[in-house]
Amino acid sequence: MKAVFIVYNQAYGDEIVAVVESLGQRGFTRFDGVGGRGSVDGIPHLDSHAWPEYNDALMLMVEDAKVAPLMDALRAKDAETPDLGLRAFSWNLEHIL
């Protein structure tokens, strides 16, 4: 089992949730209005007067076999609109309640 954390520009709306659900993933936790700035490029998303855009984020617990298809689908979505900003990270889960 893996944890997957997806951070994306709020302009995607429910598109990222639709990608997740299209792969049969039902459960997630959504964080609205997440601020941040990428480490490589892109503009800050801080929901301020100077930087009015902001991000949303999803946290998922995913079966190992579903991680690669999910990441591939997210890469394809990011390639369609790279200026919006989309990042995803996964790591191993050791204990689950």
List, edge to edge, every strand of the sheet that includes 55-62. 29-34, 55-62, 2-9, 86-92
Alpha carbons 39 and 20: distance in angstroms, whole number: 25
Residue ranges per structural domain of the chain: 2-92
pLDDT digits (tens, 9 = 90+) for 38-57: 777 778 888 888 888 899 99
What fold does the segment set 2-92 form as a domain? Alpha-Beta Plaits (3.30.70)
What pTM was estimated for this model as a whole?
0.92
For 3-28, letters b (16+ CB in 10 Å) and e give ebebbbbbebeeebbebbeeeebeeb
pLDDT at 26 over 90: yes
Q: Please give the pLDDT value at position 45.
A: 81
Which uninterrupted H or E stretch holds 65?
helix 64-80
